[in-house]
Amino acid sequence: MTGTISTTLPADDRSEAIKAALVRRHAASGDRLCEMARYAVAAPGKLLRPLMLMAAAEAVGGSADVALPAAVAVEHLHVASLVHDDIIDGDDERRGRPSVQAHYGVAEAIVAGDALLFDLFAAVSESSAPPRVVLAVVSEFARAGVDLCRGQVLESLMTPPAAGRSGSALEEYFGVAENKTGALFRAACRAGALLGGGSAEQAELLGEYGHHTGVAFQMFDDLLPYLASRSGKPDVSDAANLRPTWPVLLAHRTGTAEHRQAVETALSGALDPAETLELLRFAVAGSGALMIARRGAHDRVRLAVARLGELPGAAAANRLAAIAEIAADRDC
Amino acid sequence: MTGTISTTLPADDRSEAIKAALVRRHAASGDRLCEMARYAVAAPGKLLRPLMLMAAAEAVGGSADVALPAAVAVEHLHVASLVHDDIIDGDDERRGRPSVQAHYGVAEAIVAGDALLFDLFAAVSESSAPPRVVLAVVSEFARAGVDLCRGQVLESLMTPPAAGRSGSALEEYFGVAENKTGALFRAACRAGALLGGGSAEQAELLGEYGHHTGVAFQMFDDLLPYLASRSGKPDVSDAANLRPTWPVLLAHRTGTAEHRQAVETALSGALDPAETLELLRFAVAGSGALMIARRGAHDRVRLAVARLGELPGAAAANRLAAIAEIAADRDC
């Protein structure tokens, strides 16, 4: 293992293979579009989705090699969504470097994201699997992409928590998480299963694993700004955008009147981002929501991995279990 | 013919079939993402690309029906690029209505464009043609999409015309037009040919037709702000964005010192959009560039249609010829 994810994953060179394929894809031409695409995909990420896709292929008894083009594609999809997200959220930093929009400007970032998005389907179509299978993967990614967009729209429509409606706000939150994050994790795993020659039942089992892991990932992602020591993604982005994230909604539901008031004031839009985050931190930590939120993410992981033992490729299934653990316990 | 394109096209109901399929695709769910997608695709457009795709399928002896999902897809691709273009150019009007970004805001327009883009691949993958053929169409659209993005980046890198370099500026212009517009017209025709069961040679012939028609379309598009009577697209957009378009470059190359100076002053960025356009109009009309530009677009159309007679479906080939004529002689 090359250290991209964590030393708890078995040592192998899959991360390196994915990274090399990502950069190679945009090295052919020296033009500006290629340069931007390379800039976007070469930033050090965790590569969770492509690693899951390859492990899913192996878990059903297939080879990782046949899944590599689709692994490259799923990372493209993820990166394209980040490039556009950073425009929407006004985030200038991504993965420890200037975001594409900060580095190249908004107009170029819109176009670069679009190009990555188109190119992911070119990458998938280069798979060596039977056309019928590759076409099913195209469909998985296309539908997951639409779901991801739907999740973003649902997120933008979320209303701040108010007295008496914490329950429906939590429901809204999970609707967002399932679309925005769960759908692509699910598609990655289903694609891997299909490319690895798995049955419809195995694809469904792995899709469920991906879905729950994705939701756990999102739950943990929303916890990150409230953990004591961490690095990476700017803390204030969600707070600056007044998003009622999971720990915040939990604090509103489980906290005292003071915590509830803190949440409502923080998300009213009257404070600056740093003050907003400080007030939310007070509510999340003080109400005990942090602990409940963390446990919730772990519960999801348990649900995700529950049936992995039914798959023929035990080593790959173990790797999937390890990825799920990391999804809900990481520092960036 | 339902009047969508022009009364010079033979009467048929293909436009209506495409329009109905476009709206039907986003009618299933009542959510906001569907609403935005429907708003974007339902605006009255000329449907040139999907009509070409269906005619290409018929020109090689195939059925229009099998090509309908891909026809819907190619219009999605076009509309998605317009939705994002209008953000980049700051255009508030599109097809006589508020643009998606003006109507829903920039953030939602980014997401809506992305969703259309994903959904086009979902639409293609629903084709009833053999998987191998459908996968080839996926690849055509994916690569055309990347080319379209490349054309946009090349356009943003174009430098204003200056003394002694009109020639290379014209070369740059055609590089932009071929990528930004020609590539998708080409892909539409190639896709139609493949879905219609055409040979590789027929796909290539139709691809060339699409390529030249697309470039002619772009050449004529750039002429529109300089024609006496017209409607539709806001005149000042290209001028406001200081784009050295084809007639402007021609005016710079063929005009007097006064016309050249007018072009250079107009594109210096020192004037407001209306003044810029007025100065460019003076140069384009006064230099005779308007007539040369118009003739150039017609020459391209002749090149486009030259080999259509070799195709077995004569009626469809005639329809393609009529579409090419319209591409280079329209009022919006």
pLDDT in tens, A101-137: 999 999 999 999 999 999 999 999 999 999 999 999 9
Over residues B188-200, the mean pLDDT reads 98
Under 8 Å between Cβ of A182 and A218: yes
Residue A115 touches chain B, beta carbons under 8 Å: yes
pLDDT value of residue B108: 96
pLDDT value of residue A13: 82
Q: Is residue B275 part of a domain?
A: yes
- Residue of higher predicted confidence among B300 and B159: B300
Q: Which of A41, A93, A46, A136 is nearest to A240 (CA)?
A: A93
Kind and range of the H or E run holding A94: strand A93-94
Output DSSP code: residue A272. -
Taking a contact as any Cβ pair under 8 Å apart, which residues of chain A between 3 and 32 contact chain B?
Answer: 31-32
Under 8 Å between Cβ of B206 and B192: yes
Q: Which of A298, A280, A60 is nearest to A160 (CA)?
A: A280
* From A317-331, B58-72, B108-122, the region with the lowest mean pLDDT: A317-331
Specify the CATH number for the domain of residue A258: 1.10.600.10
Here the tokens at position B268 are 């210096």
- Dihedral sign, Cα of residue A12, residue A14, residue A16, residue A17: positive
Extract the runs of DSSP E, i.e. beta strands, from B190-234.
Answer: none
Q: How far apart are CA B101 and CA B117, in angstroms?
A: 16
Q: How far apart are CA B153 and CA B146, in angstroms?
A: 11
Q: Which of A121, A158, A159, A190 to mutate to test the interface with B (most CBs of B within 10 A)?
A: A121
DSSP SS3 for B4 = coil
* pLDDT tens string B137-191: 999 999 999 999 999 999 988 887 776 666 688 889 999 999 999 999 999 999 9
- Dihedral sign, Cα of residue A21, residue A25, residue A29, residue A32: negative
Q: Which residue of A has its CA nearest to B110?
A: A84
Residue A7 clears pLDDT 70, i.e. is over it: no
Alpha helices for chain A (secondary structure H): 14-25, 32-42, 48-59, 64-89, 100-104, 106-125, 131-157, 166-177, 183-195, 200-223, 236-240, 246-254, 257-266, 273-286, 289-305, 314-327
pLDDT value of residue B234: 47
**Residue whose structure tokens are 């999971």:** A246
Q: Is residue A9 part of a domain?
A: no
Residue B274 clears pLDDT 80, i.e. is over it: yes
**Chain A residues touching B87 at Cβ < 8 A:** 110
Under 8 Å between Cβ of A100 and A94: yes
Q: Is residue A59 part of a domain?
A: yes
* pLDDT tens string A34-91: 999 999 998 878 899 999 999 999 999 999 999 999 999 999 999 999 999 999 999 9
Residue A84 touches chain B, beta carbons under 8 Å: yes
Here the tokens at position B144 are 């055309």
Radius of gyration in angstroms for the set of CA atoms belonging to chain A, rounded to a whole number: 20
* From A2-11, A51-60, A320-329, B292-301, the region with the lowest mean pLDDT: A2-11
Q: Which residue of B has its CA nearest to A132?
A: B131
A231-260 b/e (C-beta count within 10 Å ≥ 16 → b):
eebbbbbbbbbbbbbbbbbbbbbebeeebb
Mean pLDDT of chain A: 90
Residue A332 clears pLDDT 80, i.e. is over it: no
Residue B1 clears pLDDT 60, i.e. is over it: no
Over residues B264-280, the mean pLDDT reads 89
Residue A28 clears pLDDT 80, i.e. is over it: no
Residue B9 clears pLDDT 70, i.e. is over it: no
Residue A175 clears pLDDT 80, i.e. is over it: yes
Under 8 Å between Cβ of A249 and A166: yes
Q: Is residue B129 part of a domain?
A: yes
Q: Which of A76, A106, A110, A180 to mutate to test the interface with B (most CBs of B within 10 A)?
A: A110
Q: How far apart are CA B142 and CA A192, in angstroms?
A: 21
* pLDDT tens string B46-81: 899 999 999 999 999 999 999 999 999 999 999 999
Residue A24 clears pLDDT 60, i.e. is over it: yes
Give the number of other Cβ atoms within 10 Å of residue B233's Cβ.
17
Over residues B207-223, the mean pLDDT reads 96
Q: How far apart are CA B262 and CA A324, in angstroms?
A: 64
Mean pLDDT of chain B: 90
DSSP SS3 for A260 = helix
B85: phi then psi, degrees, rounded to nearest 5: -55, -40
pLDDT value of residue A22: 92
Distances (CA, A) of A77 to A133, A205, B263: 19, 23, 42
Q: Is residue A229 part of a domain?
A: yes
Taking a contact as any Cβ pair under 8 Å apart, which residues of chain B between 133 and 152 contact chain A?
Answer: 134-136, 138-139, 141-146, 148-150, 152
Q: Is residue B1 part of a domain?
A: no
Here the tokens at position B290 are 């308007």
**Residue whose structure tokens are 């009309």:** B285
| Nearest chain B Cα distance for residue A254, angstroms | 31
Structural domain containing residue B177: 14-327
Tell me if B138 and A124 make a contact (CB, 8 A cut-off): yes
Under 8 Å between Cβ of A76 and A84: no
> What number of C-beta contacts closer than 8 Å exist between A and B?
150
pLDDT value of residue B82: 96
Under 8 Å between Cβ of B272 and B242: no
Residue A229 clears pLDDT 60, i.e. is over it: no
Residue B208 clears pLDDT 80, i.e. is over it: yes
Here the tokens at position A88 are 């929407």
* pLDDT tens string B24-44: 898 866 789 999 999 999 887
Which residues share a beta bridge with A98? Answer: A93
**Chain B residues touching A132 at Cβ < 8 A:** 131
Over residues A219-239, the mean pLDDT reads 73
Over residues A250-270, the mean pLDDT reads 91
pLDDT value of residue A73: 97
- Dihedral sign, Cα of residue B66, residue A195, residue A206, residue A292: negative
Pick A146's closest partner by Cβ from B118, B142, B152: B118
Tell me if A146 and B81 make a contact (CB, 8 A cut-off): no
Residue type, A63: S
Give the number of other Cβ atoms within 10 Å of residue B66's Cβ.
18
**Residue whose structure tokens are 């003071």:** A258
Q: How far apart are CA B125 and CA B70, in angstroms?
A: 9
Provide the ipTM. 0.92
Q: How far apart are CA A84 and CA A317, in angstroms?
A: 33
Q: Which residues contact B180 (CB under 8 A, 6 or more apart)?
A: B148, B151, B152, B154, B155, B218
Residue A5 clears pLDDT 70, i.e. is over it: no
Residue B131 clears pLDDT 90, i.e. is over it: yes
Residue B95 clears pLDDT 50, i.e. is over it: yes
Q: How far apart are CA A233 and CA A215, in angstroms?
A: 18
Pick B84's closest partner by Cβ from A80, A110, A148: A110
Residue A275 clears pLDDT 50, i.e. is over it: yes
Query: What's the distance, CA A259 to chain centroid?
Result: 29
**Chain B residues touching A157 at Cβ < 8 A:** 32
Q: Give how many domains chain B has, as a whole number.
A: 1
Q: Which of B226, B232, B158, B151 is nearest to B185 (CA)?
A: B151
Q: In degrees to the nearest 10, what's the CA dihedral of B43, B44, B50, B54? A: 130
Here the tokens at position B280 are 């460019």
Q: Is residue B6 part of a domain?
A: no
Residue A69 touches chain B, beta carbons under 8 Å: no
Taking a contact as any Cβ pair under 8 Å apart, which residues of chain B between 250 and 309 contact chain A?
Answer: none
Pick A143's closest partner by Cβ from B112, B122, B136: B122
Q: Is residue B154 part of a domain?
A: yes
Here the tokens at position B278 are 């007025």
